[in-house]
Amino acid sequence: MTETVERQAYFTARPLALVIGCGDLGMGTARALGKDHPLLIVDIDADRLGRAIEALRNEGYTAAGHRCDIADPLQTQALGLALARWPGVRVLAHVAAVGSAVKDWRRMMAVDLIGPHLIAAAVQPHMVRGGAAVFVGSLAAYLPPRDPRIDALLDEPLKPGFLDAMTAVLGTEPGWVQPYSHAKLGVIRLAEKLAIAWGAAEVRALSISPGMINSTMARAQGATLPSHKGDGGEVSRHEKAREIPLGREGTVLEVAAVLAFLASDAASFLNGIDIVIDGGHRAAWRARGVIER
């Protein structure tokens, strides 16, 4: 009787697709990228990470996990050291973020803005020629009015006293909407800077900004979302979806597909730009004069 010999696919020895975060979009991204790359998934929640890796392996993906609090400099440095054991990173997909559920704007800024800067610093030495980093911003990043003082702070969130400096410029301890918007603006600006800094090594950096997406994180914000009509009020998700020219929310699959395209060789001359995935929501805001970005 002939025994079946299990063989690994040839691409499992290639440089990694490193996915930061294993929520809805993280898993959608992992499945899109895992067709062509071995996966290393990073998340702060060890139990959730374990379940994610088991699910991916059961589906036939080559996947490993690494627990890391991306807002902790020591833990991101440890991730960088761990990456030295792999044959480099071909794709960095930075998906992890937190929203209003955190109820602490400083923690939100730490995860959503400081974290991407720390991850970029840890991963940069391991990016291979032809690699791409894609950071997930948000349509919310287009809401803040232009302010050179805030832009300057967002560009250097690792400087001591960053959060206190943000409070001083804003004039008060903010709620969650304003910091989230500023954090995601900072992520877009980070991708632009990295596109220049990493370009000589033939490594690209981009960002994507999803609009209203039907995801666990979006649903967890509650029945209402802040109105962006300038009156400070709130509207239901369904009402807000009617602002979108396509008349609906997007899906995780639609966002993951764009991210995977940007990370692929088919997008090899795209660099330093933000792709808004919003069904035309930003265009509608601009037409109404709601935003200036």
pLDDT, tens only, 13-36 = 789 999 999 999 999 999 999 999
Comparing CA positions, the residue from 254, 130, 134 lying closest to residue 199 is: 130
Q: Is the residue at 142 inside a domain?
A: yes
Q: Is the residue at 71 inside a domain?
A: yes
Q: How many domains does the chain have?
A: 1
Q: Is the residue at 293 inside a domain?
A: no
CA distance 245 to 276: 14
Q: Is the residue at 270 inside a domain?
A: yes
Both tokens assigned to 138: 């948000």
Both tokens assigned to 273: 């730009």
Burial class (CB in 10 A: 0-12, 13-18, 19+), 280: middle
CA distance 102 to 44: 14
Q: Is the residue at 176 inside a domain?
A: yes
6: left (phi over 0), alpha (psi -120 to 50) or beta: beta
Tell me the per-residue pLDDT of 110-157, one tens digit each, with 9 for 90 and over.
Answer: 999 999 999 999 999 999 999 999 999 999 999 999 999 999 999 999
* End-to-end Cα separation, the chain, in angstroms: 68
Q: Is the pLDDT of residue 41 over 60?
A: yes
Q: Is the residue at 207 inside a domain?
A: yes
Q: Is the residue at 2 inside a domain?
A: no
CA distance 83 to 94: 15
Comparing CA positions, the residue from 278, 291, 274 lying closest to residue 136 is: 274
Tell me the per-residue pLDDT of 232-291, one tens digit each, with 9 for 90 and over.
Answer: 456 677 778 888 999 999 999 999 999 999 999 999 999 999 999 999 999 999 999 988
Burial class (CB in 10 A: 0-12, 13-18, 19+), 146: exposed
Range of the domain at 207: 11-288
Q: Is the pLDDT of residue 47 over 90?
A: yes
Tell me the per-residue pLDDT of 54-72, one tens digit each, with 9 for 90 and over.
Answer: 999 999 999 999 999 999 9
Give the domain CATH number at 189: 3.40.50.720
**Do residues 111 and 96 make contact, with C-beta atoms less than 8 angstroms apart?**
yes
For residue 41, count other CB atoms closer than 10 A to its CB: 28
Q: Is the residue at 243 inside a domain?
A: yes
Q: Is the pLDDT of residue 4 over 60?
A: no
Pairing type for strands 234-236 and 224-226 reads: antiparallel
- DSSP single-letter state for residue 263: H
* Predicted pLDDT of residue 217: 73
Query: Which residue has tokens 């995935």?
Result: 277
Comparing CA positions, the residue from 71, 93, 74 lying closest to residue 162 is: 71
